[in-house]
Structure 1
Amino acid sequence: MKHVSILPLYEATVTSIDSSHQILNRVNDFMAYQGRPPFYQVEIVGLEEKTSMGGGIYDIRVDKTIDRVPKTDLIVLPLLCGNFPEAISKNQPYKDWVVAQYHSGAEILCLCVGSFFLASTGLLAGRKCAVHWASTNEFKTLFPEVEVVDDGIISDEKGIYTCGGGYSYLNLLLYILEKHMGKEISILASKMFEIDIERKSQNPFMIFVGQKRHGDEAVLKVQEYIENNPTEVFSVDAMCEKAGIGRRTFERRFKKSTGNSIAEYIQRVKVEFAKKHLEMGRKTVNEIIYETGYNDVEAFRKVFKRFTDLSPIDYKRRFA
């Protein structure tokens, strides 16, 4: 039987703690129905006997304090909400225990932006981590040594599992069930809890927000110009001219500062413009594409699908 420790971290959401507790325990019921022994022993493991959460709205009583758990097999780090630097600081008393358990063979299941605390332990250095698209820029600033995955939902690397996207942690829970117990149990849990097992990407939900906390005024000037004029037809050379810097040098600075090439940044801004108008549902897809400055409809469809995983018409059907 695998011992599971769910940590009631400071600034954690009660829903992510409760969902993990319910789903992993429910799996034991599935096993009982099949005449098999329970697979998980699930406990909430904290610093004190009682943890106050949600600004004092909720109290969670732990099963054990961490000093009474010398060995665990799976650590669940819940989704955090609020000020990440403050949450990292307040949760430092967990750090040594989490690191020691990992080096003793425990796996770590990190739900969404619980990754901010996990990264602060140093365990993600040089590794991939799925991060919610809205937190990517802040995460990259705080932890440049981590390889961020901001389009996929799940990362799996050396016993550390992370996910990006608010309630995509439900998909991560299904993923670990499949990893531990096979596809049949994962599908059963998907059906019982009505979780879409096929959800693989954040792209349809992502809102592009350019990284602007880089301190390069020339790059920032061009970013703001592109964003303020999404229907204009741009060229990379024209943007370099606006910055007053040679193309090779400016392209290098732009990519370093924003994480995108100039051409890709232009495409992302135009896709966001198109998405907003598709959501309104008042114009045809082709009318919106022409408004973005594209004359080649098929070329824009390909760009749109690359960033959203959906065609413009499918996006309109889903979100309009």
Structure 2
Amino acid sequence: MSREATGTDVRPIHVSLVAIPDAVVSTLSGVFDVMNAFSVFPPPGPARSQPFEVQIVGLEAGPLPLASRVPITVQRSIGEIETTEIIIVPSILLAADGWQKGRYPQLVAWIRSMHDKGALLCSACSGIFLLAETGLFDGADATVHFGYADTFAKTFPKVRIHPERVLVVSGDRENLVTSGASMTWHDLVLYLIARHAGAAAAQAIARSFALQWHQDGLAPYIVFEGRRDHGDTAVRSAQDWIAAHFSVANPLEEMIRHSGLTERTFKRRFTSALGISPLSYVQRLRIEEAKRRLERTDMSVDEISWQVGYEEPAFFRRLFKRVTGLAPAAYRRRFSIPDFARSSQRSR
């Protein structure tokens, strides 16, 4: 039950915000500031005590340079903490060779121990890489930054990953919480505030910081790029060709003809290599081009529909929303450069 529901002042919930050298300072400091903001931006209604006690924790107390080389101060070592109610691992920056397991055995063991005592485990963006080492997410649903989704799936194949989702709450007691790409830490923090301090408190904090829930999901942000490392030269040749000719009439028939394979063989090999049917692949290429034109031009939706290969604007609109989660006009409002920014560019 939330504090809003009880209407009483109780001991604040202890939150351990984990700092490791791979962590991104913006996420860590953002989570810290927002969850500690109740004394600065108190929600409406009767005065309440601070609902959270947020501390930056790590292997050792003291200064710690993060991924960007900006130092922060670890306030408490994990050896000093016998119990905590919420653990949050902020975004981490992966090296070029991905996530290397086994670098933080003490931290992983401590997270497991705290979870056994009832701690809620949370990750922002790529923080799930560290939490997944505990094995507690095996067989569970989670999300991660879509740019790291393939790497995560290869590193932790037992975790069901959903990079298009903003927030995933799983576990038998809803005690595993993950947020997706980058700034979805806003959604994570607002969720935790709503869960433990009430909806009114979450709304008040959202207004104070101008935070927004990503209610449309992350599909609008994901750029489609078909795999190129599958090793099938005929399929790769078809990909190269359709990349420059996606707007042609009857694209599937043209791809098959260009490949020199039979229709049945081409469809089988294409789907096996890319995990997506040839027709769906063409549709995704067309939608990506439409997204670029919506972002960068003032062309009408009907004109863009025709230019990317669809003669029926109504069909294009339905397909666009199915793929991105937004209607074309809504997508343009979300992602096109604002007028004030364009004015600044023109003045320079």
TM over 0.5, shorter chain: yes
The aligned residue for residue 73 of structure 2 is: 61
User: 1:246 offset after TM fit, Å?
Assistant: 5.8
Using the TM superposition, give the Cα deviation of residue 297 of structure 1 relative to its aligned residue in structure 2, in angstroms: 1.4
CA contact (8 A) 2:290 2:304 kept: yes
CA contact (8 A) 1:152 1:200 kept: no
- Secondary structure at the counterpart of residue 122 of structure 2: strand
Q: Distance in 1 between matches of 2:180 and 2:217?
A: 9
Pairing of 1:77-226 with structure 2 (within 5 A): 77-83=89-95, 85-86=98-99, 88=101, 90-158=103-171, 159-197=175-213, 199-226=215-242
Alignment of 1:45 onto 2:61:
no
What does residue range 219-238 of structure 1 map to in structure 2 within 5 Å?
A: 219-236=235-252
Q: Which runs of 5+ in 1 are unaligned?
A: none
Q: Is the counterpart of residue 27 in structure 1 residue 42 in structure 2?
A: no
| Residue 301, structure 1, aligned to residue 314, structure 2 | no
CA distance in 1, matches of 2:239, 2:281: 8
Q: Deviations over 1:183-212 (max 9, x none)?
A: 111111111111013534112222112233
**Letter of the aligned partner of 2:98 in structure 1?**
P
Distance 1:63 1:215, change over 3 A: same
Partner of 1:260: 276
How far has the Cα of 1:86 moved from its partner?
A: 4.6
Q: Comparing 256-265 with 15-24, which one deviates more in the overlay?
A: 256-265
Root-mean-square deviation over aligned CA pairs:
2.7
The offset of 1:6, in angstroms, is 0.6
Residue 282 of structure 1 deviates from its aligned partner by: 4.6
Residue type of the alignment partner of 1:168: T
- Match of 1:111, as an amino acid? A
CA distance in 1, matches of 2:206, 2:304: 37
Whether 1:76 aligns to 2:88 is: yes
What is the one-letter code of the residue matched to 1:188?
Answer: A
Identity of aligned residues (%): 28
Contact 2:124/2:179 (<8 A) preserved: yes
TM-fit CA distance, 1:43: 1.1
Q: For residues 63-92 of structure 1, what are the alpha-carbon distances to aligned partners after superposition, in whole Å with 9 as ceiling and x for unaligned?
A: 211111122111010111241735655444
Instruction: After superposition, give the CA deviation of every residue in 1:243-278 in whole Å (9 maximum; x if it has no partner).
Output: 566656654554454343322221111000111122
Bigger Cα Rg: 2
> In the aligned structure 2, how far is the partner of 1:179 from the partner of 1:228?
49
2:168 and 2:262 map into 1 onto residues whose CA distance is 38
1:273 aligned to which of 289, 292, 299: 289
Instruction: Check 1:145–1:284 CA distance in 2 against 1; reply closer, same or farther (3 A cut).
Output: same
Deviations 1:256-307 (A, max 9, x none): 5434332222111100011112222153322221121211211111111112
Q: 1:200 to 1:292 in 2, by over 3 A?
A: closer
Q: Cα–Cα, structure 1 residues 313 and 200, in superposed 2: closer, same or farther, change >3 Å?
A: closer
User: Moved runs in structure 1, 4+ residues, more than 6 A?
Assistant: none
CA deviation profile, 1:19-73 (whole Å, cap 9, x unmatched): 1111112236637983333322211110122353245732222221111112211
**219-228 or 38-47: which moved more?**
219-228
Q: Is the 8 Å Cα contact of residues 10 and 91 (structure 1) preserved in structure 2?
A: no
Q: Which runs of 5+ in 2 are unaligned?
A: 1-11, 337-348
Is the Cα–Cα contact under 8 Å of residues 187 and 197 in structure 1 kept in the other structure? no
Q: Which residue of 2 aligns with 1:285?
A: 301
CA distance in 2, matches of 1:225, 1:177: 50
State the 1:134 CA deviation. 2.4
Work out the CA distance in 1 between the residues paired with 2:264 and 2:192.
Answer: 45
**Distance across 1 between alignment mates of 2:134 and 2:272:** 26
Letter in 1 for 2:52: Y
CA distance in 1 between counterparts of 2:118 and 2:212 reads: 30
- 3-state DSSP class of the match of 1:286? helix
SS of residue paired to 2:36: helix
* TM-score, length basis structure 1: 0.88
Deviation at residue 233 of structure 1 after TM alignment: 3.2
Q: What is the aligned partner in structure 2 of residue 4 from structure 1?
A: 15
Which of the pair has the greater relative contact order for Cα pairs under 8 Å at 6+ separation? 2
Quick one: structure 1 residues 69 and 245, their matched pair in 2 at CA, closer, same or farther if it must change by over 3 Å?
Answer: farther
Contact 2:62 2:75 in 1 (8 A): no
Change (3 A) 1:31 1:186: closer
Which one of 9, 13, 23 corresponds to residue 24 of structure 2? 13
**Matched residues, number:** 320
Deviates more, 1:44-53 or 1:209-218: 209-218
Per the normalisation by structure 2, the TM-score is 0.81
